[in-house]
Amino acid sequence: MGKHKKVDIKKRRKKLLKERRKEFQKKDIKIEKKTTNELDVRLEKETKLYWIRAITGALSAFIGRFIFGFIGWLLFTWMLVWWFLFPFIVSFLILKFEYNKEDWAWKNIFLPGIGIFFFLFMIVSVFIHTLLKFLPSFSSILELFI
């Protein structure tokens, strides 16, 4: 029988470790690449709409009560206009989202952020109304200019 080859275990081990490190690096790179599917895109759109609705709720209450001085039914109508129309303006004109004609539904635009809009609108408008009631004979900034 022939001679057995002498195997250097340390060199062989180093070589195997290098190969494994390369494999792990390739796997990490594959994991890091973001896969975008329809659900992720829709959730990203809904998240943007949600936070825009939150900001819009607070700002529309501030503008409606502090600047224009709306109270009661006028403030309610002001809120409804911003509540129903502004999300469509944002999604189609400002952010220019593209929706599939087959999957499109008005609920995808209308529903995200309804609660936060209403909540922030009520809190901001009540807070500003309360502050303005402490100031005698002052109901809005618009009153100063007229």
pLDDT, tens digit, 9 for 90 and up, residues 14-52: 888 888 888 877 766 655 556 567 777 777 877 888 888
What is the predicted pLDDT for the residue at 127? Answer: 93
Closest residue by Cα to residue 119 from 69, 75, 68, 55: 55
* Residue 68 lies inside a defined structural domain of this protein: yes
* Residue 18 lies inside a defined structural domain of this protein: no
6 vs 117, which has greater pLDDT?
Answer: 117
What is the predicted pLDDT for the residue at 98? Answer: 73
63 vs 26, which has greater pLDDT?
Answer: 63
* Residue 22 lies inside a defined structural domain of this protein: no
Query: What angle do the packed helices 114-134 and 73-89 form, to 10 degrees?
Result: 140
- What domain count does the chain have? 1
- Please say whether the beta carbons of 82 and 124 come within 8 A: no
Question: Which structural domain, as residue segments, surrounds residue 74?
Answer: 38-145
* Residue 3 lies inside a defined structural domain of this protein: no
Q: What are phi and psi of 19, to 5 degrees?
A: -65, -40
* Residue 140 lies inside a defined structural domain of this protein: yes
Largest CA distance in the chain: 113
**Tokens in use for 105?**
């539904």
Global pTM?
0.65
* Residue 108 lies inside a defined structural domain of this protein: yes
* Residue 111 lies inside a defined structural domain of this protein: yes
* Residue 133 lies inside a defined structural domain of this protein: yes
- Please say whether the beta carbons of 74 and 137 come within 8 A: no
Cα 73 off chain centre by: 30
What is the predicted pLDDT for the residue at 20? Answer: 84
